[in-house]
Every structure is written in C-alpha cells, then in structure tokens.
Amino acid sequence: LGRVDLMKVVYGESSLAGSGKVSQDGGSAAAAGLDESEDDEEGDDLFVLKGSADEGGRAASNAPAAGGGVDAPDSSRVRHESRGWDPDETIETLRNRFVTGDWAAAERR
C-alpha cells in the first residue's frame, strides 16, 4: 500500500453532500450496498423502511452491521476482529512489542 493509494482512499471522497459522488465508506461492501439502495430511493422502494442500521439510537458496539449508510450510528468505540490468541505461537508473535521481548528485534521493526 503506497502513499498514493492511501491518499486516494481517504481523500478520493468528500464528506459533503452533493459533491458528485455519494459519500460512503472507503471500500466497505456493506456500506456500498446500502448507499446504492439510497440512490434508488426516488424509485420503486418509496415505502420500504430502512433496516435497523439507520435507526440511529443505540446499537451494540459489537454489532458490525452498525456501519454504513448515510445515517450510520456515531460512536468512537472500536471493536477489532480477534484472531484468537489462545495458541502460544500467536501470542509469541507480539513478544517483541513488549519489554519482555528482544529489544534488538524491536529496533529492526
């Protein structure tokens, strides 16, 4: 991932309304899907209610479906996908980020 790519992903879209492109989350398939249905809004799905994603209010932070759509809930909480830290090998991959690890290896990082 070079510099150009990252700049494009972040700044390729506008946060403002009516700036040509519909603002949506960079590359999130779920969000793109939701926004597409937004575009059709004037058409046949006039009376179709949107899902709980744009209900706003309080969605549990561990519900990944909360993202996407122009009314996506506004929360700073982040929940990472856990890779499963139980096997010792997995946890050892982080060893050199701790003072208990190899300091020279940490320097090379």
- Applying CB under 8 A, the residues found at the interface with another protein are 1-3, 5-7, 9-11, 13-18, 23, 25-26, 28, 38, 41, 48-50, 52, 54-63, 67, 69-83, 85, 88, 91, 93-95, 97-101, 103, 106, 109
Residue 36 C-beta: closest distance to another protein, Å? 14
Which of 75, 72, 94 is CA-nearest to residue 83? Answer: 94
Neighbours of 31 (CB within 10 A): 19
Residue 44 C-beta: closest distance to another protein, Å? 14
Please say which residue, 32 or 59, places its beta carbon nearer to another protein.
59
Please say which residue, 20 or 57, places its beta carbon nearer to another protein.
57
Which amino acid is it at 16? L
Distance CA 59, CA 6 (A): 30
Residue 109 C-beta: closest distance to another protein, Å? 6
11-27 in b/e form (b: 16+ CB < 10 A) is eebeeeeeeeeeebbee
Residue 53 C-beta: closest distance to another protein, Å? 10
Cα angle 39-68-44, degrees, rounded to a multiple of 5: 25
